[in-house]
């Protein structure tokens, strides 16, 4: 409130401990701070050994075919509209087909959610899991964004150890000791960041069996998929989706060396459908005929191929919003032919 002086008591800007904790765990903020400490007058060339982005270096140029495909899509005029919440249908289908090449089962586009990079995928998963009293198991050493996003969302996280004497494998006994009835997921990073290890088929199977024993899902961060340069081949965690439900996080930034393109995904590599069965569904059986604006819009789209926006999306239930973009006259001529409205009173929905 204005206290009569020139000073205003602004109501925003109060301390946010969760945000401060998340900010303290930002690896990029820390690295940029270190770059700020470099003496630019020093004649020696900078050795950027803390830099995780290969794209500024000429020897790591993105493939010409990828650049041409993006340019063609941008100039086609076909990719400028809003996609579905999960992403463009064609892109989801392409990611599903790509991941399916390395799995013993086929993914569909409905198993994929596109994200603005793999970091966005991490943010989504930590937010989804942040229910009261829930906790997740995170690797140590590990990628700090998991802790940051969990802290920001109020999700408890517990660290299990990676064992250096065993090639940075997961401490399975430690995981079992950490978990309790409120544990909902374990996060694995394979190939591993920051340790560089690649887990064997046998070790991944043990992780899946442990998750099944504990009744938790596996969140498998595979942003470095196929970046395996030793004797161990990369094996997707989704191969073991029959044992325990797996959510795979990935993207194009590392393998295709284009982190600035910000394209990632969340894939439900869960052939038994455990994750889908756990979703809560609304029982609409008590509705007689058209129950509300969403029901109306659904029937309109199904029977008449006309898509309008239900008012509920704008917190205005039982109304609809027509965004006609020049088609208003054509649409209004169709109203009288909509069969499922023949017994409705004038003004029921319009």
Average pLDDT over residues 208-234: 94
Q: What pLDDT is attached to residue 105?
A: 96
Same domain, residue pair 83 and 215: yes
Same domain, 263 and 299: no
Q: What is the pLDDT of residue 7?
A: 85
3-state secondary structure 51-81: CCCCCCCHHHCCCHHHHHHHHHHHHHCCCCC
Q: What is the 3-state secondary structure (H, E, C) of 151-204?
A: HHHCCEEEEEEEEHHHCCEECHHHHHHHCCCCEEEEEEECCCCCCCCCCCHHHH
Clarify whether residues 305 and 238 are in a common domain.
Answer: no
Residues 203 and 304 in one domain: no
**According to DSSP H, which parts of 184-315 are helical?**
201-214, 274-277, 293-304
**Domain identity same for 210 and 76:** yes
Single out the residue of 240, 13, 219, 228 nearest to residue 118, CA to CA.
Answer: 219
301 and 266 co-located in one domain: no
pLDDT of residue 286: 36
pLDDT (mean) for 235-246? 97
21: in domain? no
Quote the pTM value: 0.78
For the chain, percent of residues with pLDDT exceeding 70:
76
- Beta strands across the sheet bearing 183-189: 112-115, 264-269, 246-251, 217-221, 183-189, 135-140, 156-163, 169-170
CATH number at 218 reads: 3.40.640.10
Q: Does any domain span residue 34?
A: no
- Per the prediction, the chain carries an average pLDDT of 82
Q: How high is the pLDDT of residue 335? A: 53
Q: How many domains does the chain have?
A: 2
Q: Which of 115, 119, 129, 108 has the alpha carbon at shortest distance from 52?
A: 119
Tokens of 187: 């996060």
In this structure, is residue 314 part of a structural domain? yes
In the three-class reduction of DSSP (H, G, I as helix; E, B as strand; rest coil), residue 320 is classed as: strand
Last residue of a domain, one of 277, 306, 330: 277
Domain membership of residue 326 as a residue range: 293-341
For the residues 229-247, what does the mean pLDDT come to? Answer: 94
pLDDT digits (tens, 9 = 90+) for 59-111: 888 889 999 999 999 999 988 888 888 999 999 999 999 999 999 999 999 99
Boundary residue ending a domain (277, 301, 319): 277
Q: Are 121 and 94 in contact (CB under 8 A)?
A: no
Taking CA 267 as the corner, what is the angle to CA 249 and CA 81, rounded to the nearest 5 degrees?
A: 100
* CB-neighbour burial class of residue 267 (10 A; exposed 0-12, middle 13-18, buried 19+): buried
218 with 316, same domain: the answer is no
Could you read off the pLDDT of 252-275 as tens digits, one per residue?
998 888 999 999 999 999 999 888
Q: Does residue 30 belong to any structural domain of this protein?
A: no
Q: Which of 244, 277, 310 is where one domain is finished? A: 277
Asked whether residue 229 falls in the same domain as residue 300, the answer is no
Q: pLDDT by residue (tens digit) across 36-45?
A: 888 888 888 8
């Amino acid at each position: 409130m204005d206290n009569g002086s020139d000073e205003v008591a602004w109501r925003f800007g109060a301390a946010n401990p969760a945000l401060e904790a998340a900010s303290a765990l930002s690896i990029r903020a820390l690295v940029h701070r270190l770059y700020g400490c470099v003496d630019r007058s020093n004649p020696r060339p900078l050795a950027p050994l803390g830099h995780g982005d290969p794209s500024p270096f000429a020897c790591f140029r993105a493939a010409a075919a990828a650049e041409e495909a993006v340019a063609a899509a941008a100039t086609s005029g076909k990719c400028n509209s809003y996609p579905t919440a999960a992403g463009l249908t064609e892109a989801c289908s392409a990611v599903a087909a790509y991941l399916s090449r390395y799995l013993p089962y086929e993914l569909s586009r409905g198993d994929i959610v596109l994200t603005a990079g793999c970091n966005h995928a991490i943010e989504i998963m930590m937010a989804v899991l942040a229910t009261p009293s829930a906790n997740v198991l995170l690797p140590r050493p590990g990628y700090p964004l998991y802790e940051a996003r969990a802290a920001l969302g109020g999700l408890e996280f517990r660290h299990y150890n990676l064992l250096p004497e065993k090639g940075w494998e997961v401490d399975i006994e430690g995981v079992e000791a950490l978990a309790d009835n409120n544990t909902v997921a374990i996060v694995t990073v394979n190939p591993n960041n920051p340790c560089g290890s690649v887990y064997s088929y046998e070790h991944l199977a043990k992780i899946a069996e442990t998750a099944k024993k504990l009744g938790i899902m596996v969140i498998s961060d595979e942003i470095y998929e196929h970046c395996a340069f030793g004797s161990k081949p990369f094996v997707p965690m989704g191969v073991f989706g029959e044992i325990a439900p797996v959510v795979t996080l990935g993207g194009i930034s590392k393998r295709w060396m284009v982190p600035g393109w910000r394209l990632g995904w969340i894939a439900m590599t869960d052939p038994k459908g455990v994750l889908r069965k756990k979703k809560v569904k609304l029982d609409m059986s008590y509705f007689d005929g058209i129950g509300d604006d969403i029901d109306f819009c659904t029937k309109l789209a199904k029977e008449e191929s006309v898509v309008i926006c239900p008012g509920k999306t704008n917190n205005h239930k039982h109304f609809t919003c027509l965004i006609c973009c020049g088609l208003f006259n054509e649409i209004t001529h169709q109203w009288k032919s909509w069969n499922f409205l023949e017994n409705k009173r004038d003004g029921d929905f319009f």
